[in-house]
Amino acid sequence: MKRTFPLILVFIFGIIGIITFIIPHPIVQNLDESIRNDILKILVAFALVLGLGSLLKVHMDKIKRKRENWKYSWILIISFLVSSIIGLFGGVEGAGPLRTSIGSFHFDIQTLYENIFMPLGATMFALLAFYMASASYRAFRARSYEATLLLITAFIIMIGIIPLGEKISPHLPSFAQWIMTVPNVAGQRGILLGVALGIIATSLKIILGIERSWLGGGE
């Protein structure tokens, strides 16, 4: 029961998912639509709440047990609470019951997003430019025939897509474009076809109950 019933559910919903593609009849399509709009959409809301809960739990635990760097968890929890209160009661546009401005100073959720979330997220990934530079210098080696081919292609592309390429020769950008649309497509497609077969294999295994790792441990 504890394993069989979920496996039966996966099978039933899996088959429904497959046949909606080929059976246009309203009986199937309406069922499909209500599964999506009335069940899955609501389930995902719960899953999101659950994910949030476990994030907070991890950090509460960290504080309680005074793990390494536990003090920073306070920052996470406080900033989370403050921004949720502003968002929930201040509303999407700052028009909710909670006032989100003092004079010309606004602190509605969109302002927090644009001035805290945005710069932090963007800068974190801007670090990668530096890592790329130092890796270029210290790690990317033409250590084999394959790696050499890879690097040469990369050089052609890197020069072909900047305006300098056009100045060196008008054929260079066209050549870079050709690499992208012809040999690159062939190589990527070879990989894609294999990946797609892999997805089909995994999906069928799950639907038919051969692959059960999603059940997790326990009986």
Partner 1 sequence: MNISPDPWVWIAALLSLAIFSFLYKENPFYRIAEHLFIGVANGYAVTFYWHNILMPTLFDPLFRQGKLLYIIPFIIGILYFTRFIPRISWLVRIPIGITIGYYVGVSVPATTQAFIIKQIQGTVLTSTNFQAWNAGSWGIVWSVIVFIGVLCSLSYFYFSKEHKGVLGVTSRIGIVFVMIGFGAAFGYTVMARISLLIGRLQFLLGDWLGIIQ
Partner 2 sequence: MKFIERLTTIDRRIIYIILVIVVVIPLISRSPERVRVMLPVEKLYNAVDTIPKDKVLIIDFEYAPQDMPELEPMGFALLRHAFEKRIKVLALCLFVQPLGLAQKALTQVTEEFNSVAQSNADSIIYGRDYVFLGWQPPPLIPIIGMGTSITNVYPSDYYGNKTDTLPLMKHIKNYNDVALLVSLCAGSIPRSWIAYAQNRFGVAVAAGVTAVSAADFYQYYQTGQFTGLMTGMKGAAEYEELVETRLGIKKSRKASEALPSLTYGHLVMIAFIIIGNVGYFMQRRRRK
Partner 3 sequence: MTLILLTAIFALAPPGEVRAYDTPGDRGEAITIEWQLSQDDAVLDGYEIYRSEDGVDFQKVGFLGRGRTNYEDETDDDKTYFYKVAAVSNTARTLSEPTPQVISSPQWINRTKINIFIAMFLFGGFILYFIYHARKGKELFIRKIAGLQAVDDAVGRATEMGKPILYSLGLGYVEDIATIASLNILSEVAKKCAKYDTQLICPNNRPIVYTVAREIVKEAYTEVGRPDAFDPDSVYFLTDSQFAYAAGVSGIMVREKPATNFLIGYFYAESLILAETGASTGAIQIAGTDSLAQLPFFITACDYTLIGEELYAASAYISREPLLLGAIKGEDWGKLIIGTVLIAASIVGIFTKFPILDFFR
| Size of the residue set binding partner 3 (CB under 8 A) | 45
Task: Pick the binder of partner 3 from 74, 89, 117, 140 (CB under 8 A).
Answer: 140
Amino acid letter, residue 80 = F
Q: Are 161 and 173 within 8 A, CB to CB?
A: yes
Which of 61, 113, 168, 202: binder of partner 2 (CB under 8 A)? 113
Q: Which of residues 62-91 bind partner 2 (CB under 8 A)?
A: none
Q: Is 119 in the site for partner 2 (CB under 8 A)?
A: yes
Beta-bridged to residue 9, according to DSSP, are none
Q: Does 15 bind partner 3 (CB under 8 A)?
A: no
Query: Among residue numbers 39 through 58, which ones bind partner 3 (CB under 8 A)?
Result: 58
Minimum Å gap between C-beta 161 and partner 3 is 16
Amino acid at position 203, single letter: S
- Encoded one letter per residue, x for contact with partner 3 by CB under 8 A and - for no contact, window 150-179 reads xx--x-------------------------
Question: Residues 7-13: contacts with CB within 8 Å, 24+ apart?
Answer: 7/209, 7/212, 7/215, 10/206, 10/207, 10/209, 11/207, 11/208, 11/209
Q: How far apart are CA 208 and CA 15, in angstroms?
A: 10
Residue whose token pair is 């019951």:
97
Considering only residues 59 to 118 of the shown chain, the ones binding partner 3 according to CB under 8 A are none
Rounded to a whole number of angstroms, the CA Rg of the chain reads: 26
Residue 205 carries which side chain, given as an amino acid letter?
K
Report the sign of the C-alpha dihedral through residues 157, 161, 167, 172, in that order: positive
Closer of 9 and 193 to partner 3 (Cβ): 193
C-beta closer to partner 2: residue 45 or 82: 45
Under the binding rule (CB under 8 A), the answer on residue 125 touching partner 3 is yes
Residues that bind partner 3 (CB under 8 A): 18, 21-26, 29, 58, 124-125, 127-128, 131-132, 134-135, 138-143, 146-147, 150-151, 154, 188, 191, 193-195, 197-198, 200-202, 204-205, 208, 210-211, 213-214
